[in-house]
Amino acid sequence: MSVLVYVENADGKFKKSTFEVVSYAKEIANQLGTSLTALSIGNVADGALAELGKYGAQKVLTVNNDKLKSFVNQAYASIISSAAKAEGSKVVVLAASFSGKGLAPRVAVKLEAGLVDGAVELPDLKDGKFTVKKTAFSGKAFAHVELTSAVKIVSLVPNSFKVVERPEAANVTAFESTAAESDFGVMIKDIVRASDKISLPDAELVVSAGRGMKGPENWGMVEELANLLGAATACSKPVSDAGWRPHSEHVGQTGIAISPNLYIAIGISGAIQHLAGVSSSKVIVVINKDPEAPFFKVADYGIVGDAFEVLPKLIDAIKKFKE
């Protein structure tokens, strides 16, 4: 009986969220006194697969054929569930990423397992129970969910668990695809990247701006600050609704939910629907000219001031610091 962790890749490379999820699954395996098996689907080099040992995977199963190069929800779910059965895994861990959110419930159905999606902490195993803290109501609350099923699935929110190195000698083994022809009903034909920018859901630093920026012509400052920090850019809903920024940048209840290490909110009021998607950020910095703006209540650091004065000074200061 091992813990199984599904390791997601992007263009054959593992993301930081993958190492987080392996570190998290390793800790669960240690608590349960068992080993950790990682499962990779798609074209990842052997060296990268073996590197998963650095984060605690003792065994790495790899499935690779042309049809599985791109993400296919049903097929991937079939393979993950058959790998869990083959390994006798009672716990399966995935990232609560775009694809993880689609996979976790499908795998849960196939394994007749209980699922906690959006875990933010390690499970509490006191008294033989398996209770997981997860976000609820779009991040406005936390729920502690006890899983009582024989097989348990947990998906972990990116940026909620630190990468921990616990070196193991990882043994990389090929695993036969168990996906049926019917699993390939919907397939990705082509991926067109909207831009080369840092992907918002995975970003550790995010610079976000709202209606206080007055118009799209003023986003140069926001982008300059983001570039200097190596951050992704985001925005409030009205900004994307007005077409000032693309919808892919809209964060909040009806947009993307993120939990970066640093979230800088510029000219955003902090409406509850916006906070729903960003309040689990580790450090929140708010720049707003209205000292009564609700965002200040959840901010770790606040600057009361006009963004058009504060941003150029901040950009200058960071440039000087970097010199």
Residue 2 labelled as part of a binding site: no
Question: Shortest distance, CB of residue 256 to ligand FAD, whole angstroms?
Answer: 9
Residue 270 marked as a ligand binder: yes
> Given the complex with ligand FAD, which of 43 and 138 has the nearer CB atom?
138
Q: Is 220 annotated as ligand-binding?
A: no
Query: Least Å distance between CB 241 and ligand FAD?
Result: 9
Q: How far is the CB of 3 from ligand FAD (least distance, A)?
A: 34
Nearer to ligand FAD, 103 or 310 (CB): 310
Cβ at position 248, least distance to ligand FAD in Å: 13
Residue 230 annotated in ligand binding: no
245 annotated ligand binder: no
Closer residue to ligand FAD in complex, CB, 49/251: 251
268 is in an annotated binding site: yes
Closest CB 309 distance from ligand FAD, rounded Å = 8
- Residues at the contact surface with ligand FAD, assessed by CB under 6 A: 210-212, 236-239, 252-255, 267-269, 271, 273-274, 277, 287-290, 293, 306-308
SS3 annotation, the chain: CCEEEEECEECCEECHHHHHHHHHHHHHHHHHCCCEEEEEECCCCHHHHHHHHHHCCCEEEEECCHHHCCCCHHHHHHHHHHHHHHHCCCEEEEECCHHHHHHHHHHHHHHCCEEEEEECCCCECHHHCCEEEEEECCCCEEEEEECCCCCEEEEECCCCCCCCCCCCCCEEEECCCCCCHHHHCCCCCCCCCCCCCCCHHHCCEEEEECHHHCCHHHHHHHHHHHHHHCCEEEECHHHHHCCCCCHHHEECCCCECCCCCEEEEECCCCCHHHHHHHCCCCEEEEEECCCCCHHHHHCCEEEECCHHHHHHHHHHHHHHHHC
Q: Which is nearer to ligand FAD, 53 or 139 (CB)?
A: 139
Is the CB of 42 or the CB of 302 nearer to ligand FAD? 302
Q: Is 118 annotated as a binding residue?
A: no
Binding residues for FAD: 211, 267-274, 288
Binding residues: 211, 267-274, 288
